[in-house]
Structure 1
Amino acid sequence: MCLGIMTVPIINKVILGWVAFGAGFAVAGGFIAFISLIGIVTRLAGLTKTADAIPTYENSMALGLIFFNLVSLYQPDLQWISYTAALSIINIVGLFTGIFAGCLAGALAEVVNIIPIFSRRIKLRKGFPYMVKAAAVGKCIGCLIQFYIF
């Protein structure tokens, strides 16, 4: 059976779309597995004393990854949004992205145990919480400079 000249590009686009969509889900699934492996969700739930909400946190993270996978794949046209609303949305997304990046960096540093090793090498006995807070503030200021100035 001959498919015709016009249907071949459509079939190619459909196949390419499904491969890209599947690859995005595979990357998102691997990312969720990585985040779960290093224990960000459980650690934050333990610190905030909300361990009963861990499934909600994990579902929210999965839905966020799926949503932004779709947004990056289809790139919706948002010209109808006012300039002020767009800035508000960008700031909110940037805030949560910064929080997530900070938590990820903190979890990776904790997994590698870099902070205790560093504190022993420089013989830091007092002020350990201030060192951690200074690193977090420095990371925040660095991200702000990178995103808003450069």
Structure 2
Amino acid sequence: MSPVTVVINKILLGWIAFGAGFAVAGGFIAFISLIGIVTRLAGITKTADHIPIYENSMAMGILLFNLLSLYQPVFSWIFPAAGYSIMYLSSLFTGIFAGCLAGALAEVVNIIPIFSRRVKLRKGFPYMVKAAALGKCIGCLIQFYLFNII
């Protein structure tokens, strides 16, 4: 392939990724707004006047990570330890977000009260929530360890 063709292909892929990012971000933001995770977290942190900033930040983050997953850049050229630092920091924030999303979704569908009635659980709600969080954490660590991400 000629260098011009390579550049045109990269520009075309960039536009496709950008358009796909807009579509994914729009659907995801609609889903997040529907289950009320942003308004719930903004109410808890008493920052309800910043909800549009939160939603725009989530949409831009989805677009950015869509481009990052498409092109898979190497961050070690910035400074030597940046690659792992960026990976660990983004993994931390992704885990926090996934945990909040899973908790909000479970709250919306009332999974914990339904489950506790089905198994006739009368005591130990805090232990059940802590066990679920610990299991999620251990499962993620095992997955990351097995796939050599960490």
Q: Where on the TM-score scale, by shorter chain, does this alignment land: which range?
A: 0.7 to 0.9
Task: Please list every run of 5 or more consecutive structure 1 residues that lacks an aligned counterpart in the other structure.
Answer: 1-5
RMSD of the alignment, in Å?
A: 2.7
Amino acid paired to 1:104: L
Give the share of equivalent positions with the same residue, in percent: 77
C-alpha distance in 2 between matches for 1:23 and 1:85: 28
Counterpart selection for 1:88 from 48, 69, 85: 85
C-alpha distance in 2 between matches for 1:34 and 1:56: 17
C-alpha distance in 2 between matches for 1:52 and 1:128: 33
The answer to whether the aligner puts 1:27 opposite 2:24 as a matched pair is: yes
Counterpart selection for 1:113 from 110, 113, 119: 110
| 1:69 aligned counterpart, secondary structure | helix
The answer to whether the aligner puts 1:48 opposite 2:50 as a matched pair is: no
Instruction: Say how many residue pairs are matched.
Output: 144
C-alpha distance in 1 between matches for 2:111 and 2:104: 11
Task: Please list every run of 5 or more consecutive structure 2 residues that lacks an aligned counterpart in the other structure.
Answer: none
Shift of 1:20: 4.0
Shift of 1:16: 5.9
What does the per-residue CA deviation read over 1:47-96, in whole Å, with 9 as the maximum and x for residues that have no partner? 33332332221122122122223333444343414443222211111111
Highest CA radius of gyration, 1 or 2? 1
